[in-house]
Amino acid sequence: MENNILDNVFGVNLPRLEDFLVLLKIPFIIIIAVCIFYSFMLILKIRILRDTMDLEESNKVKAVVYINLLISLIAGILGIIIVVLG
**What is d(CA 72, CA 74) in angstroms, rounded to the nearest whole number?**
6
Predicted TM-score (pTM) of the model is 0.59
Mean pLDDT of the chain: 77
Largest CA distance in the chain: 83
Q: What is the pLDDT of residues 19-40, one digit of tens each?
A: 777 778 888 888 888 888 888 8
Boundaries of every domain in the chain: 24-85
- Residues in contact with 31: Cβ distance below 8 Å, sequence separation at least 6, in sequence order: none
